[in-house]
Amino acid sequence: MKATLLRTDRLELRPVRDEDIDRILEYRNLPEVTWWLLRTEVDPASVRAAWRRAAEDPDDHSVAVVLDGVVIGTVSLDVVDGMGQPGMPERTEAEIGYIFDPAYGGHGYATEAVTAMVAHAFGQLGVRRITAGCFAGNLASVRILEKVGMRREQHGVGDSWHAALGWVDGYTYGLLAEEWRERAAPGSKLATSDSSSKA
C-alpha cells in the first residue's frame, strides 16, 4: 500500500508514527476534546496498537496533521463498501473523521486538512461517496463538514448516547464525487475559497 502523503499551503499530512502517539495523547484525552468523542478516554497502549493496525490496513488512509513539525491533529479515512444488493462494486465509499488539538483551533487547520483528505479520496483513491457523523451539538465539527461541502443527510433525533447529556441528536453528512468535482471546478466557490479562513 502506498502511504498517504499530502501537503497543503500550511500543513503536511502523513502516516502516524510511533513517536507521534505521546503527542497525540496530549490533546486526545483533554476533557474539551473527549466531550464530543464516542470513545471518551484511551490509554497509550491501545492508541499505539490502533495506529499500528491502521498502518497495515490497505483500506485505512488515516494521517497525522503536522504544522511546522508539530502534530496538531489526525484525520481518519477508511475506505469501505457501500450499501447495496449483490454485484455492487466494492470499496466505493469512505468514512472520514478527525481530532485536533484545541490549542490550534480558530485558524482553519482542520478545514484545510479535511478538505485535502476529501480531495485525495475522490481524486486518488477513486471513492464515489464520503460520509461523516457527529453529535448535533458539536458545532465546530458541523462547521468543518459544511465548509468542506458535505450535505447533512440525516438528523437523528435522540439517536446518540452522550455520557453526560444522555440521549442527544446526531447528524450524518455525505458528499458524492461528482458534487465535489462540480464545486472544485474553476470559478466555483470551493476553488476560489481562502484556505486560511477560520474554521
The residue among 84 and 113 whose pLDDT is bigger is 113
Q: Lowest-confidence range among 13-17, 49-53, 106-110? A: 49-53
Helix (H) or strand (E) holding 78: strand 70-80
Q: Lowest-confidence range among 46-50, 99-103, 132-136, 175-179? A: 46-50
Among candidate residues 187, 184, 73, the one with its CA nearest the CA of residue 123: 184
Strand partners, 6: 13
Q: What is the CATH number of domain 6-192?
A: 3.40.630.30
Question: What would the pLDDT profile of 137-196 be if each residue is shown by its tens digit?
Answer: 999 999 999 999 999 999 999 999 999 999 999 999 999 999 999 887 665 444 433 333
Cα–Cα distance for residue pair 76/114, rounded to 1 Å: 9
Q: Kindly report the pTM of this predicted structure.
A: 0.87
Sequence-distant (6+) residues with CB within 8 A of 96 are: 75, 76, 77, 114, 117, 118, 121, 130, 131, 132
Strand partners, 66: 12, 71
Per-residue cell: 33: 476534546
Cα–Cα distance for residue pair 34/63, rounded to 1 Å: 19
pLDDT of residue 109: 97
Cα–Cα distance for residue pair 112/120, rounded to 1 Å: 12
Query: Locate cell 490533546: which residue?
Result: 27
- Domain range list for the chain: 6-192
Contact (CB, 8 A) for 98 and 113: yes
Among candidate residues 129, 113, 150, the one with its CA nearest the CA of residue 79: 129
Cα–Cα distance for residue pair 74/116, rounded to 1 Å: 12
Cα–Cα distance for residue pair 189/179, rounded to 1 Å: 12
